[in-house]
Chain A
Amino acid sequence: MKSLLTILLTLCIPLLTFSQSTNGKVSQGASIQLAIDSAAPGDTLFIRAGKYLENNLLIQKPLTLIGLDYPTIDADGKGEIFIVAGKDVTIQGFKLINTGRSSVEDLAAIKGLDAHDITIRDNRFDNTFFAIHLSNTNRALIQNNHLKAEAEHEYQLGNGIHLWKCKRARILDNEVSGHRDGIYFEFVTNSTIERNQSVGNMRYGLHFMFSNENEYLENTFKNNGAGVAVMYSHGMKMRHNNFEDNWGTASYGLLLKDMRDSQIIGNRFTGNTIGIYMESTSRSTFEDNLFKQNGWGVKLQASCDDNSFSKNNFIANTFDFSTNGSLVLNKVNGNYWEKYQGYDLNKDGVGDVPFHPVSMFSVIVEKVPSAMMIYRSMLVTMLDKAEKVIPAMTPENLKDNCPSMKPYDLYRKSK
């Protein structure tokens, strides 16, 4: 009996020494998967700096993994890095590089499946297909990560942060560049996206599909194929974001398609081909936004109704406003238009004659895009003046009855 006990004890010694001597720490040369497997639920594992050639690390229990001085996990172009299929997992302080690429599977550096309450913080992603890919995951926190990708062909790129069927996610202070969509939401509700930088992504900086009741605040979308696309969604709040330099033939600062009951407040649209392009959008509020130096400030398709534009500043855009129909079911009232040439006799700060923001030439360009070639010719200037006196082509009802004489001080308001 005694000998049996001794044998058992000796068998236990390596196990005990593993957990004691390393104190939950993993050093270069050791296996992270082994450490994950032998950890108890709720444990914290510290991974020391170094390079680890591992992939498809499976986590199925509550666990905190913390990298000390950014240990690098290199998947060497094969498969994924972390696959989380359990609740309460934290992954912090890693450098994750070189995931596999596939045309059939969405391979990711961190893949979450039913990974409720996952925290992904302070990580760096480089040369990954998808960086973070979560599905059926509630209350995820993705904070302060740097995501970067490169590829020869566009279709070899995945999305930076990709959420599918998730609820109550928080995405804060991340930097995403070089992906297909910087941040992609499909069937995601009640989530917040705050203070992120989405720069130089192939398609969209941020993309919502069938995702309702989300908000995004104080983000910057720069140099993307197009800044943000919101499609087939309702109840969205978009406040104080920067849409900059989204430039190209089919490029937009903000693309709205089949969206309703939303707020677009206090955003800055500068240097985009089209500031906002909207189609089939209804019952939404556009307030306190700045449209500066865009090709088109707002391109409103006739399929939109019941939207209201007020207190926006339109400055130095080639075309402030354009539409493709004569029926106008939207309210445009009390904005500042730099092109306004009216007067204010009673000095109440509101122009005495209405302003028609749709210029005749924008109507022509809408029908014949190549007519853009003769823009800024004398003929066009004359036609535009004639149209102002006797409107024939522009929708007569699309007018601002109370145009502001001075630009609104939007900067102070956002502080």
Chain B
Amino acid sequence: MKKLFVLLAPIWLLLACQADPEAIYFGKDACHHCKMTIMDPKFGSEIVTNKGRVYKFDDINCVHSFMAESQLEPDDIRHLLVIDFSQPQELINAYNATYVLSEDLKPPMASNFAAFSTQEAAKEYLDQRSGELMNYQRMLARLD
């Protein structure tokens, strides 16, 4: 019985591999598109495919260019995540996030976009600065 368990354990471990998001290691991971080391914990993005492959990015426009260039279909994507500007290093669902477009943001690839988990947080940021509020779809349209 014990032997059987030892034999089966690796197989069980392999089966346990899932397409789960992975934390971005700031200062170590490089952006898959622009090759820059990801440094700024307020910006970043991640794609996890159905096969479990993880792609990391430093700015939202790199995600956009990568999707345009690669053969990745929307159906292949299990998770599309962005860093929450108000909670550095925290990855949130990109489709539900609220985006702010502002000259003051200075993200690494000059997209001038930041993502927020809630509309309130985004509005709070815009209280002191000028900029625009938008959802995922409108943000994408702006990047085109």
Question: A residues touching B (Cβ–Cβ < 8 Å)?
Answer: 103, 106, 153-155, 180, 186, 202-204, 209-210, 225-226, 229, 231, 250, 255, 257, 277, 279
Establish whether residues A210 and B110, one from each chain, have CB atoms under 8 Å apart when the complex forms: yes
- How many interface residues does B have (CB within 8 Å)? 16
Q: When chains A and B are docked, how far (Å) is the Cα of A96 from the Cα of B70?
A: 48
Establish whether residues A250 and B110, one from each chain, have CB atoms under 8 Å apart when the complex forms: no
Say yes or no: A277-B35 contact (C-beta < 8 A), given A155-B40, A155-B41, A186-B110: yes
Separation in Å of the A114 CB from the closest CB of chain B? 16
Establish whether residues A250 and B30, one from each chain, have CB atoms under 8 Å apart when the complex forms: yes
**Which one of A106, A155, A229, A231 has the highest number of Cβ atoms from chain B below 10 Å of its Cβ?**
A155
Interface string of B12-51 (1 = CB under 8 A from A): 0000000000000011101000111101111000000000
Q: When chains A and B are docked, how far (Å) is the Cα of A103 from the Cα of B85?
A: 10
Which residues from chain B contact A231 at a C-beta distance below 8 Å?
34, 36
Say yes or no: A154-B35 contact (C-beta < 8 A), given A103-B42, A103-B88, A210-B110: no
Q: When chains A and B are docked, how far (Å) is the Cα of A106 from the Cα of B36?
A: 20
Contact of A229 among B27, B36, B109, B110 (CB under 8 A): B36
Say yes or no: A209-B39 contact (C-beta < 8 A), given A155-B26, A231-B34, A257-B34: no
Contact of A202 among B27, B34, B106, B110 (CB under 8 A): B27
Separation in Å of the A100 CB from the closest CB of chain B? 17
Which residues from chain A contact B35 at a C-beta distance below 8 Å?
229, 250, 255, 257, 277, 279
Establish whether residues B37 and A225, one from each chain, have CB atoms under 8 Å apart when the complex forms: yes
Separation in Å of the B84 CB from the closest CB of chain A? 13
Which residues from chain B contact A153 at a C-beta distance below 8 Å?
26-27
Q: Can you name 28 A-B pairs with beta carbons within 8 Å?
A: A103-B41, A103-B42, A103-B88, A154-B26, A155-B26, A155-B27, A155-B39, A155-B40, A155-B41, A155-B88, A180-B39, A186-B110, A202-B27, A203-B36, A203-B39, A204-B37, A209-B109, A210-B110, A225-B37, A226-B37, A231-B34, A250-B30, A250-B37, A255-B35, A257-B34, A257-B35, A277-B35, A279-B35
Which residues from chain B contact A155 at a C-beta distance below 8 Å?
26-27, 39-41, 88
Interface string of B91-110 (1 = CB under 8 A from A): 00000000000000010011
Interface string of B68-101 (1 = CB under 8 A from A): 0000000000000000000010000000000000
Separation in Å of the B15 CB from the closest CB of chain A? 22
Q: When chains A and B are docked, how far (Å) is the Cα of A405 from the Cα of B53?
A: 46
Which residues from chain A contact B41 at a C-beta distance below 8 Å?
103, 155
Which residues from chain A contact B110 at a C-beta distance below 8 Å?
186, 209-210
